[in-house]
Amino acid sequence: MNIERRDLGDFVVLALDGRLTAAVAPQVRTAVADLVDDGRPRVAVDLTKVDFIDSSGLGALIGALKATRVAGGDLRIAAAGEQVRQVLRLTNLDRVLHVYPDAESAFDGV
């Protein structure tokens, strides 16, 4: 999995590319933890190029959400494809991990 970091002023976008599974979940956790440690707890995770997510991937996103909120920030999901949205709905995590149309608008009005 590739993780691209883009700074959009008051928040950072992590654009993921590949399958979000147990093999790469630690990379996501580390990327978010590094941002929080750098004082950047507002994170949008761009899932445009993620076509599959499993329970470990969900766990990484929930852990990242918790880490950002503890630091006074938030984590938003952007541009999730149908498979990812379906998994979020089936697990009721769509109530916690809100999906925004794109990363640039994830923190609009906040």
- Report the CATH number at residue 11: 3.30.750.24
In a domain, 90, yes or no: yes
pLDDT confidence of residue 98: 87
Per-residue confidence (pLDDT) for residue 110, from 0 to 100: 62
One-letter amino acid of 31: A
Counting the structural domains of the chain, the total is 1
How far is the CA of 110 from the CAs of 10, 37, 59, 73, in angstroms?
10, 22, 25, 11
Q: Are strands 2-7 and 42-49 parallel, antiparallel or unpaired?
A: unpaired
Q: Cα dist. 107→10, 28, 43, 77, 98 in Å?
A: 9, 20, 9, 10, 11
Domain contains 69: yes
pLDDT surpasses 80 at 109: no
- Tell me the residue range of the domain where 27 lies: 2-102
| Residue 7: strand pairing partners | 12
**Residue 108 domain flag:** no
- 15-30 tens-digit pLDDT: 999 999 999 999 999 9
* pTM (two decimals): 0.94
